[in-house]
Structure 1
Amino acid sequence: MRNRQFYPAILVTSILFSLIGCASGPATLQQGPDAETTKDGLVKVDNSKLALSYARPNVNWQQYSKLYFKPTKVTNDHPDDYRAPKIDRQSDGLNATYDLPQASLDKMALQFSKTVADVFNSEQPFELVTQAGPNTLIIETAVTDIRLTAPIEKSRRSFNSSGKTYTQSSGSMVLLAVLKDAESGEVLAKAADRAMGFDQWRQNTQVFNWGDVKTVYRRWANDFKNALIEANAQTGN
């Protein structure tokens, strides 16, 4: 099954950018006849703090002092051209799988909300609200295309035999965001990132992998917050 709601074609064309790294120079909308523009009128942002961003020109970002994050969607969905890792039933086991169970997906969704609440705290220039209203940005997010570097721990043969599995990274995931004006429903911006776990060889366990999820979430939330702050500041210039 494929979830197309959060897979606009313009976002997945360059989705393999990594979140790791930083932009050089201030974020600016592309201009001129060669500017990359989506079907709904969004223009690509160069030097974005997020890997891939599109925004509507001439938005007064300073009018938005409140943020309403809708509950995030976390799925095992992948783009149509995804090829699942081959499972060696002899070494990985008969029950090995790369798809996270629903309980894990629900846990990841809950952690995302906790991370957002922690990053956008009372010391930040935005107020988190629980419903849409005036001066509010609606932010729809999704975590998808989760690609593990090893079958989930409890499904592996090594888990039941007390063996150990080592990988260079726990894997990666795509984080998508769509920003809308709360009153009109107009889409103002879209962003996408492929975020990776730590790039180092270590034992692949649920504990380490969960730590990577928290790190990726916090990194994304901070970059997203900084992008909003920068857009707000540029509007005032």
Structure 2
Amino acid sequence: MIRMTNVCKGGGFLKAVIVMGILGLTACSSEPASLQQGPDAEMTKEGLVRVDHSKLDLSYARPDVNWANYTKLYFEPVKVTNDHPADYQPPKIDKRADGLNATYELPQEALAKMSEQFSLTVKEVFNSEQPFELVAQPGPNTLVIEAAVTDIRLSAPLESSRRSFSSMGRTYTENSGSMMLLAVIKDGETGEVLAKAADRGQGFNQWSQNTQVFNWGDVKTVYRSWVNDFKNALMNAGAE
């Protein structure tokens, strides 16, 4: 598993939050996030405009969206994969230290567990006390959220695959690794893309024992932070 947090370029702690940046509500820099303006504004083929001073590596949003119109949320099952970009160079396995069976790729059951945990966290955060209704299918006044976790890069081979695991040894790393978060938000009735973003989350730079138990707890903590901040972002955007 993996510990996920994020750090703004230039220093300072940043939660692994996608939608806060998508909606342009917060930013890493001292300047407020805003859509680019003028003839030189960077625009996607869907008509989304680049968000300047976003807390994310890359984010775009459609201008003039009335977020207050959306009172329902439909979360697609989160896709979690071991996929990597074409130029990815996998870490070399030290067969003497790590063992012949060491791997940096998560098994399918771990990927499925990460996806299921996200859905559980969404239900815990968006409960009956919240102003948004979770629905089982897209429709009017509904935001469709498609999120994915990919390009997972562990700082050490999977715990159960290491030689140290079977010999009761310990592995310490400076951080647990990183993974890419991707998100697309659509109108539930028309399917129109309203916003999208990509951001790489990275673990704390502090030496600690690298184990599945502690890293899994970190995954759940980050999921809760992301969903809570997404909820707050929607509430703030709808109030403007």
Q: TM-score by structure 2 length?
A: 0.84
Matched, 1:67 2:62: no
Matched, 1:198 2:228: no
Which residue does 1:30 correspond to in 2? Answer: 36
Task: Read off the aligned partner of 2:162 and give its amino acid letter.
Answer: R
Task: Read off the aligned partner of 2:179 and give its amino acid letter.
Answer: M
Distance 1:198 1:70, change over 3 A: same
Contact 2:8 2:55 in 1 (8 A): no
The separation in 2 between residues aligned to 1:80 and 1:20, in whole angstroms, is 30
Distance 1:49 1:233, change over 3 A: farther
Matched, 1:187 2:193: yes
Which residue does 1:6 correspond to in 2? Answer: none
Which residue does 1:79 correspond to in 2? Answer: 85
Find 1:121's aligned residue among 95, 105, 127. Answer: 127
Matched, 1:170 2:142: no
- Structure number with greater CO (CA < 8 Å, separation at least 6) is 2
Contact 2:34 2:51 in 1 (8 A): yes
The separation in 2 between residues aligned to 1:151 and 1:103, in whole angstroms, is 16
The separation in 1 between residues aligned to 2:119 and 2:151, in whole angstroms, is 19
Size of the aligned set, in residue pairs, is 219
| 1:127 Cα deviation after fit | 1.5
Which residue does 2:17 correspond to in 1? Answer: none
Q: TM-score by structure 1 length?
A: 0.85
Secondary structure, counterpart of 1:80 in structure 2: coil
Find 1:220's aligned residue among 210, 213, 226. Answer: 226
For the aligned residue pairs, the C-alpha RMSD in angstroms reads 2.1
Matched, 1:96 2:102: yes
Q: Which moved more, 1:77-86 or 1:192-201?
A: 192-201
Which residue does 2:215 correspond to in 1? Answer: 209
| 1:111 Cα deviation after fit | 0.6
Which residue does 2:238 correspond to in 1? Answer: 232
Q: Which moved more, 1:25-34 or 1:201-210?
A: 25-34
Structure 1, unmatched stretches of 5+, are: 1-15
Secondary structure, counterpart of 2:205 in structure 1: coil
